[in-house]
A and B are shown apart, each in its own frame.
Chain A
Amino acid sequence: MVFVSACLFLALVVSAPLLAAYLPKVQEPFFALALLGQHGMAEDYFPNGSPDIHVGENVRWTIYVYNHMGKTEYISLRIKLLNSTTMPPNSTSCTPSCVPVTYEVQRFVQNNETWLYPFSWSVKKATFLGDYQSLDNLVINGRDVRTNVLAKNGCNFRSVIELWIFDEQLNDFRFGWSYGQESRCVWNQVWFNITKTS
């Protein structure tokens, strides 16, 4: 009896790794999105440590994206410029912000890959219209980008970064992804002000 038990136990111990190799591994798919400051950490987002930016002042960020979806994904980072009254993306319903895209970059990211995208920008032209200030031109990664956002006294502008993923069924990018019956999405934002003096 002891011998039979020992044999069964041995068979179980030896066959467990084999079974583990055959069985599919279940993991929750997700994307991580983060914005890092000029030194690649979650600090020092602005040159002088203050969110008040002068026209022409260069701001350097790094956008961090990590793919844990279990396969290679085709992603699109969409950067939008908002003020305090514009509706940001909705995390619950996974609805993106309705404002037009200011800058977009697309990339293929492998499973378990981390992608660090250097994002450098400055305000090229800002117009003052009474109490309001309009952001007319930005330079993003060396490229001129036209914008049209107003904010009172140049305060409370925000850069919103949305992560869109290519949906093979839709044959287009969509904001977020599905996990079972649920929708998941990631986005990030940084607030800043524009000051008159340079």
Chain B
Amino acid sequence: MCRLKYGLCVFFFLIVSVPLPCYGSPDPGDASLDEAISRTRSALVIAYRCVVEAENAGGNVTSLVVALNRVQAKLNDVSHAKFEGEYDAAVAKAQEVYWAAEGVVDDAALSKVVSETKASFDLKNRVVISAAFICFVVLFGVIGWTYFKESYQRGLLEAKVEVSTVES
């Protein structure tokens, strides 16, 4: 009887101590893929923000937007590979997409710096041109006004009173 109790205790202990299979728990491959996709998506969003900053600085971002869309298409392929159950391929692709997004961030940052420098240069040019234009208008006005005044006064001084005899 005691042996039976002992046997039951051991059996119970073994049952409890044996790790149960994780029904419904996420596949470790799936979790790492989700993490990779999330990281890549974050990189894509950062790239987008950089592109918008470059655009606000006045840069031409057409090629950057094309690059962003290329990265987005690859990210869609990663999601599709995940849906198809190709986890290893999807993780590798996600890493590739992440690097591509990082590349866009670098290009956008460079474009932003170039655009800002160009904008600053353009502003200086505009200020100089505007100042020159204002000086020209003022100078032209003063010269014109002086000439007009002199010619008007000369006209007044040279004016002769004509007296005509009225025949009655």
Interface residues on B, range: 20 to 34
B76: A residues at CB distance < 8 A: 105-106
Write out the residue numbers on chain A whose beta carbons fall within 8 Å of the beta carbon of B69. Answer: 107-108
A129 within 8 Å of B (CB atoms):
no
Interface residues of A in 1-55 (CB under 8 A from B): 3-4, 7, 11, 14-15, 18, 22
Q: Which of A11, A109, A110 contacts B137 (CB 8 A)?
A: A11
A125 within 8 Å of B (CB atoms): no
Residue in contact with B48 in the complex, picked from A22, A74, A105, A143, CB distance below 8 Å: A74
B24 to chain A, nearest CB (A): 19
Residue A171 at the chain B interface, CB threshold 8 Å = yes
User: Once the chains bind, are B72 and A71 in contact (CB under 8 Å)?
Assistant: no
Say yes or no: is A192 at the interface (Cβ < 8 Å to chain B). Answer: no
Contact call A72/B51, Cβ cutoff below 8 A? yes
A71 to B51 CA separation, bound complex (whole angstroms): 10
Task: Say whether B52 faces chain A, with CB atoms less than 8 Å apart.
Answer: yes
Name the residue of chain B whose CB is nearest to the CB of A10.
B137
The answer, yes or no, to whether B91 is at the interface (CB within 8 Å) is: no
Interface contact A108-B72, CB-CB below 8 Å: yes
Q: Is B121 an interface residue (CB 8 A)?
A: no
Establish whether residues B72 and A3, one from each chain, have CB atoms under 8 Å apart when the complex forms: no
Residue of A whose beta carbon sits closest to that of B71: A108
Report, as a range, how many residues of chain A touch the other chain.
20 to 34
Contact yes or no, A71 B133, CB < 8 A:
no
The answer to whether A131 has its CB under 8 Å from any CB of chain B is no
Given the known interface contacts A4-B145, A105-B76, the answer about A71 and B68 at a Cβ–Cβ threshold of 8 Å is: no
Contact B49 A168 (CB under 8 A): yes
**Contact partner of A3 among B68, B130, B145, CB < 8 A?**
B145
Judged by a CB distance under 8 angstroms, whether B62 is at the interface is yes
User: In the complex the two chains form, is A143's CB within 8 Å of B145's CB?
Assistant: no
Check if B45 sits within 8 Å of A166, measured CB to CB: yes
With A71-B52, A72-B52, A110-B62 already in contact, the answer to whether A3 and B144 are too (CB < 8 A) is yes
Which of B51, B72, B80, B141 is close to A143, meaning CB atoms less than 8 Å apart? B80
Closest Cβ–Cβ distance, residue B11 to chain A (whole Å): 44
A-contacting residues of B (Cβ < 8 Å)?
45, 48-49, 51-52, 55-56, 61-62, 65, 68-69, 72, 76, 80, 126, 130, 133, 137, 140-141, 144-145, 148
Q: With A18-B130, A71-B52 given, can you name 6 additional A-B contacts, CB distance below 8 Å? A: A14-B137, A71-B55, A71-B56, A107-B69, A143-B80, A166-B45
Q: Which 7 A-B pairs have the closest CB atoms?
A: A108-B68, A3-B148, A108-B65, A7-B141, A74-B48, A110-B65, A11-B137
A-B contact pairs, 15 of them (CB 8 A): A3-B148, A7-B137, A7-B140, A7-B144, A14-B137, A22-B126, A72-B48, A72-B55, A72-B61, A72-B65, A106-B76, A108-B69, A111-B55, A143-B80, A166-B45
